[in-house]
Amino acid sequence: MITFIIGAMPVEGQWIRDVVNTYEKDERTIIACDRGYFNTNMAGIIPDVVIGDFDSAGEVLYEHLMRENKNVIKLNPIKDDTDIEAALRYSFENTEGDIVILGALGGRIDHTLGNIALLGLGLEHGRDVYLQNAVNRVQMIPPNGELVLKKAEQYGKYVSVFPYMSEVTGLTMAGFKYPLEQATIKGFNTLTVSNEIEADIAYIRHQDGYLLVCETVDGN
């Protein structure tokens, strides 16, 4: 099973459709967040749930969805979390499997940074959560974590890692063009940007800290 959360940042409709249709309808749950409904509509995909305060999409959309008998969860616009976070928490309680968030990278930098922070909620709930667009896939690895990447299945040419909030220690990257062995990375530099997988299988392991892993398509 997999859950797709569709945000409001611009995403090409055909791309969304191709990603979502990798799974059969009975294998997936699609949640549209507020104006993210327009992304699903553009892609010709019917969401299972629409969540939002409708401050950006407006009451007109909310009333339309209600007339269409859609499954709508309307949030109070005066709240402490974003619509994406509300959709994540709904997913933790009502779905199983991986969670892939589309339409949540790019656009407003504050929302992008906030969405990256939300990857940590997946760790707290024991769920794999990914932020993804046509050129990037981002995930967060917990302390004492390990990530195995197969070259034949890599998302893009480049793999970059960053410490999140605090330093990362004991970082080992094996099977890469620029390997690391028990390294400490503290941020404020670009040492670990644009690495490349060389072996059939590559490994990323570390001991302490939270690690962001970004897989990026070439040329962007």
Residues 90-135 pLDDT 10s: 999 999 999 999 999 988 899 999 999 999 999 999 999 999 999 9
19/172 Cα distance (integer angstroms): 31
- Please, how many CA atoms are within 13 Å of residue 131, restricted to the half-sphere of its CB? 27
pLDDT the model gives residue 219: 63
Buried b / exposed e across 123-136, counting CB within 10 Å, b at 16+? beeebebbbbbbeb
**Tell me, what's the pLDDT at 59?**
73
> For the segment 138-178, what is each residue's pLDDT rounded down to a tens digit?
999 999 999 999 999 999 999 999 999 999 999 999 999 99
pLDDT-derived band at 54, boundaries 50, 70, 90: confident
| Biggest distance spanned by C-alpha atoms of the chain | 59
Evaluate whether 7 touches 104 at the Cβ level (below 8 Å).
yes
The average pLDDT across 53-80 equals 75
Q: What CATH class does 2-134 carry?
A: alpha beta
82 Cβ contact list (under 8 Å, min separation 6) = 111, 114, 115
Name residue 151's amino acid.
K
Is-contact 97 2, C-beta < 8 A? yes
In the prediction, which pLDDT does 69 show? 60
Instruction: Decide if pLDDT at 220 tops 60.
Output: no
Q: Residue 57: its pLDDT value, please?
A: 61
- What is the pLDDT at residue 88? 96
Alpha-helical (H) ranges within 6-108 are 13-20, 36-43, 59-67, 83-94
Instruction: List the domain boundaries for the chain.
Output: 2-134, 140-216
Which residues are CB-contacts of 25 (< 8 A; sequence separation ≥ 6)?
none
pLDDT, residue 66, reads 76
- CB hemisphere CA count around 196 (13 angstroms): 5
CA angle 104, 108, 112 (to 5 degrees): 40
168-212 pLDDT tens trace:
999 999 999 999 999 999 989 999 999 999 999 999 999 999 999
- List, for residues 11-44, the tens digit of each pLDDT value: 888 999 999 999 999 999 999 998 899 999 999 9
Structure tokens at 192: 């670990």
Tell me, yes or no, if the two domains 2-134 and 140-216 fold the same way: yes
pLDDT at residue 65, as a whole number: 78
* Domain 140-216 coded CATH 3.40.50.10240: yes
Burial of 51 (0-12, 13-18, 19+ CB in 10 A): buried
- d(CA 35, CA 50) in angstroms, rounded, equals 9
Q: Which positions ≥6 away from 184 have C-beta within 8 Å? A: 167, 168, 169, 170, 171
